[in-house]
Chains A and B, each alone.
Chain A
């Protein structure tokens, strides 16, 4: 079910620019299927981003975040090769963690 995330972390000076793309339906609980039944809510509730094991961003989301959510953030004091790890949890208890290394500025 849980597809891998696409994470990109590039260094700009001493700040890492992190871009995350998650694959998730993010159902609002307001849409109906072809039979007129409401499609139940299914959305990511929390995303935690860590830098070398230390939490830098802890998010709480509602169903109003778009399908296949994008999250961008900046991490100060990062160096090339640092580990950026992202974990999301949805309202059905599904989880997914992916990790990347910070790439040097190109």
Chain B
């Protein structure tokens, strides 16, 4: 649920038709994202549901995926994660922190001249495995690495 959309709707209800039209326009863009944004995956709380939404249930582990992350991260609010996939034809890389309230953190679609490498920083609530899920040539591969967290970064 998007609280901003709720408040907009409430506001539009009280005001004139012009505002309703504007709100309707905003709602439409909201739906347009929903089509591309993996809502089911990002809102699932269980690792199994995330894997399902990515079509990665029972995917094989691959040694060609390298997760670069600290063994121990002192601050869970900023955990640097880099994923390198040496699998040819890498199309998509997802980063999942298994024990986060919402495990799926990010999905990267690689296209054109993009290389199978992404680097970002995520929040982690507690010590857990970080998974990299790579789609390449219609197949799905995974890799994981444990990251220990001293102070959680979700509160």
Contact = CB atoms under 8 A, between A and B. Distances in A.
A55 B112 contact: yes
Contact of B154 (A28, A56, A58, A78): A28
A92 B36 CA distance: 16
A63 B113 CA distance: 28
B26 A93 contact: yes
A46 B122 contact: no
A56 to B, nearest CB: 4
A57 B118 contact: yes
B150 interface: no
A106 to B, nearest CB: 20
Interface residues of A, number: 38
B100 interface: yes
A12 B105 CA distance: 29
Interface string B120-140: 111110000000000000000
A18 B93 CA distance: 17
B107 interface: yes
A45 interface: yes
Interface stretch (B13-21, B55-63, B77-85): B77-85
B102 A62 contact: yes
A74 B115 CA distance: 6
Given A30-B155, A66-B77, A73-B117, A60 B106 contact: yes
B129 to A, nearest CB: 14
Contacts of B11: none
Given A54-B113, A65-B120, 6 more contacts: A15-B115, A30-B155, A46-B33, A58-B111, A64-B124, A91-B4
